[in-house]
Chains A and B, each alone.
Chain A
Amino acid sequence: MTELIISQVVNGLVLGFLYVLIAIGLSIIFGMLGIVNFAHGVYFALGAYFALTLHDSLGPWSIFLAPVGVGIVGILIEMTLMRPLYGKEPLLGLFMTFGIALFVEELIRTIWGATGHPFNAPAWLSGFIIWGPVLVTKYRLFVLVVTVLILLALWLFLHGTRYGRIIRAGSRDPEMVSMLGINLKRVFTAVFGLGTAVAGIAGVLAAPLWSVVPSMSESAIMPAFVVVTIGGLGSFGGAVISGLLVGISVALSIQFWPAASTAVMYALMILILLVRPRGLLGESWERFE
């Protein structure tokens, strides 16, 4: 039994990284723009569908180009539908993103059909590695590495570059940054594009594991919200810790009480919010208080 528990904990950690990857884009957009993006799941789904479509003509390049395509869609949506809502009642943003989610999911169903599409991982990533009681598939290890690299790149970008400092400053005090002569509109557009592109990467990487169907957005959005809420809205570190916690909790509940494996992440969220209403590493933001 101990061996199986160790195996489940490691599997939960790996699953947690997949949850983190799905949640990062949501965290970026909320953390920088203050938008609770209900449409996050459809950018995730678009990533998978773009890769599927581009794969026939572009082969492995589709994996890189699909998230770029999703980022472009995100930029267009930000410029046309989201921008007019900045500074207005936050509820409008919620309604808008909810509407976008429903519309894009229907669009996916219309273009690609309701039937799922096969999507295989490349042959060099098939198979698994066994260390004692622990079994990890090569593909999930690959997802873990990609997630860590994305997190590192984002951290370096936000903390080590001038552009990143502008984004962080703009997220805290947009008026002050504007007064310094910086065009915040462009910054916000770029951040929205970045967040949606990361959601697209998550969609591409989840496609060989999960069903590629229009409703795949629904399977992504709830874990992403739970991870971001537990971690603290807008906190990268919080999202990582939270994703891993959720992954381990789900894996262990499957070991001992499988029927509750979905409920356990919500129970964890309730528990943590009772103790820390802003989430694990959530900070007090004057803009949103």
Chain B
Amino acid sequence: MKKKITSGSGISRRTLLAGAAVGAVQLANPFVITARAAESVKIGLLLPKAGSYAVQGEIGQHGAQIAIDDFGGHVLDRPIELVWLDESTPQATQQNMHKLLDEEKVVAVQGGVSSGDVLAIMPVAERAQKLLMATGPNATEITGKNCSKYTFRVDLPNKVTVNAVYPLLKERGKKWYFVVASYAWGIDAYNQMKEVLVKDGGNVVGYDQAPLGTTDFSSYLLKVRQAKPDVVYVGLGGTDLTNFLKQMKEIGLTNQVALSSPIVNDTDLWAAGPDAAFGTYPKIWNYTGAHMTKRSTDFVEAFRKKYNQPPESEGWQDWFGMTSILTAIKETKSTDTAKLIGFLEEHKFEGYKDMPIFFRNFDHQLVQPLLVAQVKQKITDKYDYFDIKSEYPKDAAALDTAYGSQAEIGCTFKS
């Protein structure tokens, strides 16, 4: 016969256990309240985990993490939680943006390497009235005709990088060939550079669009070779640029023409290797050079210590983007979007570059100096590929003008 197990007082063991559990919850109640008070501040991160821009995604995440470490992992006495979802196609990125906002309840979202993806998530941020810190896209319209009150952009618009690098490239000749990725960023880069080139009397001797993720450029390069250009301007990034450089070497074009692109990530050149890497590029930042500030140097050291390699541009961009979000939360003592936007529109960030940098209040573009960098003739270090040729603009007074006036930019926020 099965015996009923009871305690000495005659109460069943099950009842005793249930009572103990209720008692424990009552006792623990103050801790539950404390835990609720320490609920994390969630910040969403949308960066690629796979595909052409996967490396930038990883380095960007590392940069954002260093910013969180700089804050000791806490803001407003609450732990900071970074929720990283994948940025792949515009549709999938949009879905992940919804997930971050609706399910994860993040206070702000950072990221976006591809302009196409960012253009797809900007309306989502606007509808949800949440801050989007776009750290990696370059298409001019993001802070131009498609601008949004809720989007701030860290990276450089194509229009500015084109103006920065053109004076150096035009010395190489007037015949230009364009190969660009067939989406917003690449097409915009072509339009911006073509306008400057044609106005200056140059010729477009070829223009090809290549699908994102193209592995083999040999057929494009046959056309380039046939056209005998002075300058090849490529709106390619990630593994596409690496493949292009490797195959240029294969066909004997390395250092035979001038090469540039609207922006460059060091990782694309590291992957191509010292023998294949060449060209003159605009860069948002470089981990070596006279432009480095104490704060940037500290960032490089922290990054090296944690990840055993120096940070490249994407790391800086996401470090700065996350730093600006956390600074806004800390200074406003709030996660309210309106307050964060108000702070970012007014604040000048000092010590991140060799002149103060700031988000303009009429288009939310980060106004900052950029570098014109050339791949070294002889590369001896695994990571140090660039000589800095110049900074653009040369002085702080010209900084705002370099990014265009409100009338030139064409950005009007919806009220």
Contact = CB atoms under 8 A, between A and B. Distances in A.
Interface of A: 4, 7-8, 11-12, 14-15, 18, 105, 109, 114-121, 126-128, 135, 137, 139-140, 208-216, 218-219, 250-251, 254-255, 258-263
Contacts of A259: 182, 209-211
B274 A250 contact: no
Contacts of B219: 8, 11-12, 15, 250-251, 254-255, 261
A128 B251 contact: yes
Nearest to B309: A115
Given A114-B54, A208-B246, A261 B239 contact: no
A210 B271 contact: no
A211 B209 contact: no
A137 B251 CA distance: 7
Nearest to A134: B222
Given A12-B219, A115-B267, A115-B271, 7 more contacts: A109-B58, A114-B57, A115-B58, A116-B55, A116-B272, A118-B275, A254-B208
A215 B218 contact: no
B367 to A, nearest CB: 30
Contact of A254 (B220, B251, B270, B275): B220
Contact of B214 (A120, A213, A255, A262): A262
B70 interface: no
Interface in B148-186: 182
Contacts of B268: 116
Contacts of A211: 215, 239, 242-243, 246, 271
B250 interface: yes
B216 A258 contact: no
B239 A116 contact: yes
A137 B273 CA distance: 19
B211 A118 contact: no
B213 interface: yes
Contacts of B270: 115-116, 118
Given A11-B219, A213-B239, A258 B209 contact: yes
A209 B54 contact: no
A209 B51 contact: no
Interface of B: 50-52, 54-55, 57-59, 182, 208-211, 213-216, 218-220, 222-223, 225-226, 239, 242-243, 246-247, 250-252, 267-268, 270-276, 309
Contacts, number: 131
Contacts of A8: 219, 222
A209 B247 contact: yes
B273 A119 contact: yes
Contacts of B271: 115-118, 211-213
Contact of A258 (B210, B274, B276): B210
A8 B223 CA distance: 9
Nearest to A114: B58
B59 to A, nearest CB: 8
17 contacts: A7-B222, A8-B219, A14-B218, A109-B58, A114-B58, A116-B267, A127-B252, A128-B250, A209-B216, A209-B243, A211-B239, A211-B271, A213-B271, A216-B239, A254-B219, A258-B182, A259-B209
Contacts of A7: 222, 226
Contacts of B218: 11, 14-15, 137, 140, 251
A4 B226 contact: yes
B58 A261 contact: no
Nearest to A121: B250
A135 B242 contact: no
B126 to A, nearest CB: 30
Contacts of A114: 54-55, 57-59
Contacts of A216: 239
B214 to A, nearest CB: 7
Given A118-B270, A118-B274, A255-B223, A214 B209 contact: no
B267 A261 contact: no
Residue in A15, A18, A115 with the greatest tally of chain B CB atoms within 10 Å: A115
Contacts of B54: 114, 213-215
A11 B222 contact: yes
B251 A210 contact: no
